[in-house]
Amino acid sequence: MTFLVRWLRSVLGAAVVGLSLAAIGCGGGKTPTPPPPVNLSINLSATNIAVPQDGVAVQIPIAITGPDGFLTVTVSGLPTGVLAQFATTGAGPSGVLTFTAGASVPAGNYAASVTVSLAGQAKSQSFSLVCAVVARVENATDNTLGVNGQLKQFMSTSFQISEWTGNFFGTGATAAARENTLNVLRPQHIRLQALGQAIPMQANNGLASDWNFTLLDRIVQPVLASTDNSPEFQIATAPAWMCDSNGHLDVAGHLGDFATYAADLVRYYNKGGFDAGGTHFKSPGNHPIIWWGILNEPDYNGISANDYVKIYNVVVPAMLAVDVTIKLSALEFSGSDVGTGWPTDPEQYLPPFFAPARAGGVNTQVDIVSNHLYGACNQEESDAGLFGRVPQFVAIEKYFYQELQQRSDLAKVPVWTTENNVNADYADANGKSACNPGRTFVSDQRGTSAFFAAWRPYVFSQLGKVGNQALYHWQYSGDRQFGEVGGGGDTYLSYWVDKSLANFFPATPASPFADILTLSSTDSSSVETLATRSSNGTITVMVVDLAVHAPADNNGKGDPRTIIVDTSSLGGYFSASLLAIDATTSATNGPVGKGIPPDGRIPVTLNGYGVAFLTLTP
């Protein structure tokens, strides 16, 4: 874009100089000294210019000095759809560049320049034009989102208890430090899953040696003493002697035994214990376990849909007969996408469970239904592919609620996501990929990198908006693919992401659920937004940078995004603060927030994958 302006430095000044030169000539014949040449110079007042996608004009002063002549101003490198105008101000050549952009201009950073030509001289200055996303927050609750307009989703985490994880907490000062780190995370109803040697019933010989809770309680007891003192114990699988050659519960031969085993677990933790082989087994802890899950991923672990209903209808009453106060998590489902037609498709697996009780469906207590959601089971999946899975998470969640509505007695049962991470793959005994036979397993670092700082908040926002009421990390202690902390208790970036979600969006009995505010965004493809208002009037706006730099990126850096949060409809606020998590955040110390001036339009910039939390306090 080129703008032409005629500029004469000063006609009056030129005449005065001429008169002076004539007087000198009459007096002594000396040749006058010509005035020094005036060199052209330019200076933009900003070199990083954010232009919003909603058409609001941005004015940038440009200082220009130079000789008389025609002034030409050219702006180049602008993306299609961005308009620029130049106008002089006052008596000099300096002026103002005005930029406007619409929603059709892709968000992102563009290298541009301005060139000024005057009296045969030319000067250029480069600048970065940032096409900024605009997220406008309205002063109204969006009752179509969440649970009748409220965000009721809490954050939690999981422990897999086995011979390879059972010593995580340790003793003494180590145990105290690790329990404190867990408490700071603020997880609710931490999920406990026992496998291998942590399954407490290891034989069926009628002897006391059949039972051993030592390894199991090395994790269970510290967790019971931590956070809300109310974990969910998932009876992930049956003891080995009840299983077939594939390690799956032999329903025809041992369903009654499995129900008795589950009831004994309730006795051990909640009702003073049980006797076996002349020995009394009783939990050493002071807290009962109220929440219980029945089997882990039965759809992937050899249990048909009809058999799962049969198991649940037999096992749960046996447990309730021991303790009527317990609550039950059903399904713990980890199926394929909706619409595949596979046996693990929710549309294939769930209907038998939700069928009317008189037609063979569930006929006993259900307090929650649970699902497990992973982005991939392949380390070669691209960043874009992992982000692209999230809409399928939403589809699965919606289908769960659709099925619950088929039963009036289950219509108010909430859905929890009790496992979530970017990649479900793991190494087999030979170090090969469990999901991709023959391929050497490679840990997917995106579970703890800056990618996760975009991934988990995106999942949290999308699931919370469709009514999910719990989001669990898989798993608390693990490697850089899965963990929130390492085996030595060191924190990963994922820990701080989940801690921030729990802090900014609390969903506890002591913290009434926040309302989800109506929000419109000029770009929902590379930026995710969520705004809530708590009962004390505090507004929290979360913005997530999902912008992938290149389609093939795998654990890439992402592209920068600037988001202008428009809160002008909310009225004035006393203070504002901002906390961001991205590639620059310390995994050891976590993010550091800062106070910012409250304003009706607040810019938030993320330099790649990441999340920012804007808090406005009345």
- Write out the two tokens for 123: 């000067």
| Confidence band for 21, pLDDT divided at 50, 70 and 90 | very low
- How much is the pLDDT for 164? 87
Is residue 454 within 8 Å of 408, Cβ to Cβ? no
Is residue 309 within 8 Å of 317, Cβ to Cβ? no
Nearest to 498 by CA among 436, 553, 455: 455
- How much is the pLDDT for 600? 94
- How much is the pLDDT for 36? 72
- Give the residue-averaged pLDDT of 155-164: 96
Sign of CA dihedral 472, 478, 479, 485: positive
- Give the residue-averaged pLDDT of 147-172: 95
- Residues 523-548 have pLDDT tens digits of 999 999 999 999 999 999 999 999 99
- Give the residue-averaged pLDDT of 464-482: 97
CA distances from 436 to 42, 440, 441 (A): 60, 8, 8
- How much is the pLDDT for 92? 83
- Give the residue-averaged pLDDT of 590-599: 96
| Confidence band for 12, pLDDT divided at 50, 70 and 90 | very low
- Give the residue-averaged pLDDT of 312-329: 98
Listing DSSP states for 585-617 in one string gives: SBTTTB---EEE---SEEEEEESSSEEEEEEEE
Domain residue limits, the chain: 2-133, 148-509, 520-617
CATH 2.60.40.1180 fits 520-617, yes or no: yes
- The separation between the first and the last C-alpha atoms of the chain, rounded to the nearest angstrom, is 44
Task: Give the count of beta carbons closer than 10 Å to the beta carbon of residue 59.
Answer: 12
- How much is the pLDDT for 511? 79
- Specify which of 83-92, 346-355, 430-439 reaches the highest per-range mean pLDDT: 346-355
Mean pLDDT of the chain: 93
Q: Alpha-carbon distance 455 to 457, whole Å?
A: 6
Listing DSSP states for 137-184 in one string gives: EEEEE-TTSTBTTEE-PEEEEEEEESTTTTTSS-SHHHHHHHHHHHHH
Q: Alpha-carbon distance 498 to 74, whole Å?
A: 48
- Residues 340-377 have pLDDT tens digits of 999 999 999 999 999 999 999 999 999 999 999 999 99
In CATH terms, are 2-133 and 520-617 the same topology?
yes
- Which one has a higher pLDDT value, 17 or 340? 340
- Residues 276-303 have pLDDT tens digits of 999 999 999 999 999 999 999 999 999 9
- How much is the pLDDT for 90? 81
| Confidence band for 387, pLDDT divided at 50, 70 and 90 | very high
Domain 148-509 fold is TIM Barrel (3.20.20)
Nearest to 185 by CA among 494, 568, 447: 494
- How much is the pLDDT for 484? 98
| Confidence band for 166, pLDDT divided at 50, 70 and 90 | confident
Q: Alpha-carbon distance 259 to 311, whole Å?
A: 8
Q: Alpha-carbon distance 487 to 184, whole Å?
A: 18
- How much is the pLDDT for 542? 98
| Confidence band for 18, pLDDT divided at 50, 70 and 90 | very low
- Superfamily of the domain at 2-133: Immunoglobulins (2.60.40.10)
Looking up tokens 């992102």 gives: 108
Q: Alpha-carbon distance 283 to 222, whole Å?
A: 12
Q: Does the pLDDT at position 143 exceed 80?
A: yes
| Confidence band for 419, pLDDT divided at 50, 70 and 90 | very high
- Residues 102-140 have pLDDT tens digits of 999 999 999 999 999 999 999 999 999 999 999 999 999
Is residue 221 within 8 Å of 192, Cβ to Cβ? no
- How much is the pLDDT for 9? 46
